[in-house]
Structures are given as structure tokens and as C-alpha cells.
Structure 1
Amino acid sequence: MIVTSPDAFLDAFAALPPLPGARATARAAFLLAPAEFALAAESASDNRYMDMRRTVDPLRALAQHAALAQALRADCPVVTFPGEPTTPDAVFPNNVFATAPGRLIVGRMRHAVRQREARRRDVREFFARVLGYEEVDLSSRSDCVAELTGALVIDRARGIGYCGLSERCDEAGARAMHDAFGLRLSFCFTLAAGEYHTNVVLALLAGRAAIVAPDGFADPAVPRAIARAYGERALWLAPAQKEAFAGNAMTLADDRVWMSAAAAAALTDTQRQALAGWSFRLGTVELDEIEKAGGSLRCCVAEIF
């Protein structure tokens, strides 16, 4: 079922208990290391979190990325694929590759520079040959834009997707992802003007709480409905906290929220206490060099279910 109104979403949510045996968090994760890290002007055309006037340090980006992989290993196994110099800003694999149990999903990217990334054979063959996953390839379609778990934030415990429509995901892409992930319910809504991905304005924490940047949604009733669905266990972000990527967070275990060091520094003491009250520790990694490319920790991590 795909719904587009907050009331229809709340009615449908109430009728969907958690899936028996479904995992709320991934069993592993994978990253794509930066190689000759640089900012892509094409990606910056609709990503206001990028500033092409800034200089980047490729070696510092590589070091921060390696530290991220090492930190996340505290919660689950992590695989890092080598970087590809022909796609120098390809450090955000969750937009291009995602999984459901037994399936690798390849997204349909808007920009040509990211479409090249979707053609990587090593990632596809790892899932096909090593894990025996079926491949669901949206990248060859010309009738949609579907940037996977950048545009789609998923409650894996319930099989519910939250899909923000923007230049990076259209209605046809939302339907394609609903089917590819095998979701029971998708709530589709329009992001605020200037927002490119849902995972910058919304994070779900192990299926029991949310981080929400309300100014990232075109309709203010949408974030209110999402918060209500999770029993008002929502961490509400101010615009400056969203700009610091506090919404680009994730859980890889039931008891820890990961976000960048800059994102965590933007949180208030009250917000930190709320996370602790919901039984979440806070894990942080310095990612300021990588954040110059317009994404943060969540964007760097593709989950394996």
C-alpha cells in the first residue's frame, strides 16, 4: 500500500504490527572508500549542502573514512570496497546500492556521475557470487528516478518506507522502490524546496524512535504524523542542527545512534538525555572533510539485510 496523506498513513500504520522475525537493524554494512576525493559540480546542482568553492583534502577524507569503518565494526561486520578514481565523489553508496533480505537493489540515479557508480561490477558480483543475492536493477530504467535509501528511509521492523519526493526521487521511483524492497506500506510526501534526500531530514532509530527536521518537509503535518506513529519519541531538530547533519544518523545496533562529530556537537543536552532515555548511546566520528560533498555518516553506509 502506498499512501500520501498523514491521516491515511496513521490509519495504515496502526494496522501494521512489527513483522515476525524482522530485523530492525542491519546484519552488516558496506562502504565505498574515497579515491582522489573531489566535489562533483553535477551533484552540487541540486544539493545545497555542497559548496563548490571549498577545497578538499583527499588524504584527510580517506583517513576519516577508514576511521568510520573501524568505528562501525563495534556494532556489525563492515566491508569496504576500494575507491574508483573515475567517480571521485562516490563515497555515498546507500543512494546507489541497498538490500532487502536476499536482494541487492541498484538505484536509478539522477546525475550521470552517479549513474557511472551504479555500474560497478565488483559490488554487484560480491552480492551475486559471495552472498547469492538476487539483483533488482532499477538503474537501467528511463522512466523513474530512485535514489534508494537516500530518498527512502525504511522502518525494517515493520516493512514501512518513508519516501520524500524531490529531484532525486519521483512518484514512479517511489513505486519502484516500494516493490523492490517488498514494503508493506510506503508513505510518500514532498520534501521542502531545496532538500534533496529524506535521510538528511529524517532518521529512524531501530524502529522505536525518530530524528526529525520539520523544516525539511513541504507539509508540516507529515513530520507530526511520523512522530505520532512512534509514540512522540522524536528528536526535533532546529534548522542549524539539520545543516550540521544531525538528521543524517543511523542505528546499526539496538542501543547506539551513529552520527558525525559535528552533528553530535550540535545536539542540546536535552536531546542527548532524550536519546539516553530511549536506551540509545551516541557514537560519533569526525567526518567534516567528507561532509563537504553534501552528505554525512548515514550517506556513507549501505546496509546489508
Structure 2
Amino acid sequence: MIVTSPNEFLQAYAALAPLPHAAATARAAYLIAPADFMLAAESARDNRYMDMSLTVDPLKALAQHSALAQALRADCPVITFPGDPATPDAVFPNNVFATAPGRLIVGRMRHSVRQREAARTDIREFFGDVLGYDEIDLSGCNDLVAELTGSLIIDRARGVGYCGLSERCDMAGAQAMYKAFELRLMFCFELAESEYHTNVVLTLLASRAAIIAADGFRDPAVPQAIAQACGNRAIWLTPTQKQAFAGNAITLSDERVWMSARAAASLTDDQVEALGGFGFAVGAVDLSEIEKAGGSLRCCVGEIY
């Protein structure tokens, strides 16, 4: 079922029976290393977190990315694919490739500079030939935009998707992802005009809590409904904390939430204490160079279910 109003969502959510044996966090993760890292002007057209006036240091970005991979290995196995100089800003693979148990989903990116990433045969062959996953390829669907887990936040333990509509995901794309991920319920809503991806305004923490930037949603009732679905176990971000990418976080285990060092530094003591009360320590990695490209830690991480 796909719903578009907070009331419909809460009614449908309350009627869901538990989903047995579903994992709340991924069994492994993958990253794509930066190669000749640079900022893409095309992506900056609708990514307000990018500043094209900034200069970037490719070697520093590579070092930070390597440190990220090493840090995440504390919670799950991590695979790093090599970067491709033809796609120098392709360090955010979760928009292009995503998984569900036994399936690889390839997204339909809005910008041509990102569409080239979907053509990588090594990633497709790893999931298809090595892991034996079936492939669902949306990249050739010219009548939709679907930037996967940038636009779609999934409660994996319940089979529920939270899909923010923007330039990066339209309703046709949402419907395609609903089928591809085999979700039981999808809540579609419009993001605020200044936002491009849901994963900078919403993080689900191992299916039992949330980090929410309320000003990232066009309808203020939407984040309230999401928090209610989480039993009101929510960390509410200020606009400044959202800009620091505190909403772009991920859980790869039941005990820790990962975010960038800049994001972690923006949290208040009360917010860190609340996360601890929900059962999560905060893990942080310096991604200051990579964040110049308009994304942060969660954007760098592809999940393997």
C-alpha cells in the first residue's frame, strides 16, 4: 500500500503485523573510493548543500574515505570498490545501487553525470555473479526518477518505506521502488523546496528510533507522524544541525549510529544522552572534504542485505 497523508499512514502502520526474521541493519556494506575527486556542477543545480566556490583536495578525500571504511568495519564487513576518474564525484553509491535480500536494485538518477555510475559492470557482476542476486534495473526507465536510498528511507524490520518526493524522486519512481524493494507500506510526502534527498532530513536507527529535521518536510504533520510511528523516540534537529549533516547518519549494528565528525560535533549533550537512552553510541569520522560534494556519511554507504 502506498499512502500520501499522515493520517492514512498512521492507520496503515498500526494495522501492520510484525515481520518475522527481518534484519533491522545490513549484514555488510560497500563503498566506492574517490578517484580524482571533484565537485560536479550539474549535481549542484538542485543540491543546496554544495558550494561550487570551494576547492577540494583529492588526496585528503581519499584518506578520509579510507578512514571511513576502516571505522565501519567495527560493525560489519565493508567492501570498497575502486573509483572511476570518469565519475569523479561518484562517492555516494547508495543513490545508484541498493539491495534487498537476494536483489540488487539499480536506480534511475536525475543527472547525466550520475547516470553514468549505473553502468558499472563490476558492481553489477559482484552482486549478480558472486552473491547470486537478481537484478532489478530502473536505470533505463526514462519516464521516472528514483534515487534509491537517498530518496527512500526504509524501516527494514517492518518493510515500511518513507519516500520524499523532490527533483530526485517522482511518484513514478516511488512506485517503482515500492515494487523493487517489495515493501509492505510506503509513505510518500513532499520534501521542503530546498531539499533534494530524504536522507539528509531523516535517519531511522535500527528500526527503533529516528533522527528528524522537521524543516526538511513541506508538511509539518509528516515528521510528527514519522516520530509517532517510532514511538516518539526521535532526535529533533535544528536547521543548523541539519546543515551540518546530522540527519545523514546510519546504523550498521543495533548499538551504534555513525555520522560525520562535523555532524556529531553539532549534537547537544541532551541529544547524545537521548541517543544513549535509545541504545546507541555515536561513531564519528571526519569527512570534511567529501562533504563539500553535498553529501555525508550515510550517502557514502551502500548496504548489503
Instruction: Tell me the TM-score range normalised by the shorter chain.
Output: over 0.9
1:159-170 matches, within 5 Å, as 159-170=159-170
- Determine the C-alpha separation between the residues in 2 that align with 1:16 and 1:201: 25
Q: Deviations over 1:96-120 (max 9, x none)?
A: 0000000000000000000000100
Aligned match of 2:144: 144
Aligned match of 1:155: 155
Amino acid paired to 1:220 = P
SS of the residue aligned with 2:252? strand
Deviation at 1:280, TM superposition (A): 0.5
Deviation at 1:185, TM superposition (A): 0.2
- Determine the C-alpha separation between the residues in 1 that align with 2:281 and 2:51: 32
1:52-67 matches, within 5 Å, as 52-67=52-67
Amino acid paired to 1:177 = M
Q: Is 1:77 aligned with 2:77?
A: yes
Amino acid paired to 1:26 = A
Amino acid paired to 2:15 = A
Q: Is 1:130 aligned with 2:130?
A: yes
TM-score by length of 1: 1.00
- Determine the C-alpha separation between the residues in 2 that align with 1:142 and 1:57: 35
Amino acid paired to 1:131 = L
SS of the residue aligned with 1:161? strand
Q: Deviations over 1:54-99 (max 9, x none)?
A: 0000000000000000000000000000000000000000000000
- Determine the C-alpha separation between the residues in 1 that align with 2:197 and 2:72: 23
- Determine the C-alpha separation between the residues in 1 that align with 2:114 and 2:121: 14
Aligned match of 1:120: 120
TM-score by length of 2: 1.00
Q: Is 1:50 aligned with 2:43?
A: no
Amino acid paired to 1:250 = I
- Determine the C-alpha separation between the residues in 2 that align with 1:71 and 1:263: 16
SS of the residue aligned with 1:292? helix
- Determine the C-alpha separation between the residues in 2 that align with 1:256 and 1:264: 13
Aligned match of 1:224: 224
Deviation at 1:15, TM superposition (A): 1.2
SS of the residue aligned with 2:289? helix
Q: Deviations over 1:11-62 (max 9, x none)?
A: 1111113310000000000000000000000000000000000000000000
- Determine the C-alpha separation between the residues in 1 that align with 2:18 and 2:114: 34
Aligned match of 2:19: 19
Aligned match of 1:98: 98
Q: Deviations over 1:133-162 (max 9, x none)?
A: 000000010110000000000000000000
Amino acid paired to 2:299 = C
Amino acid paired to 2:198 = T
- Determine the C-alpha separation between the residues in 1 that align with 2:213 and 2:57: 30
Amino acid paired to 1:174 = A
Report the count of equivalent residues: 305
Amino acid paired to 2:287 = L
Name the % identity.
76
Root mean square deviation, CA, Å: 0.4
Q: Structure 1 unaligned segments of length 5 or more: list them.
A: none
- Determine the C-alpha separation between the residues in 2 that align with 1:40 and 1:83: 15
Deviation at 1:194, TM superposition (A): 1.2
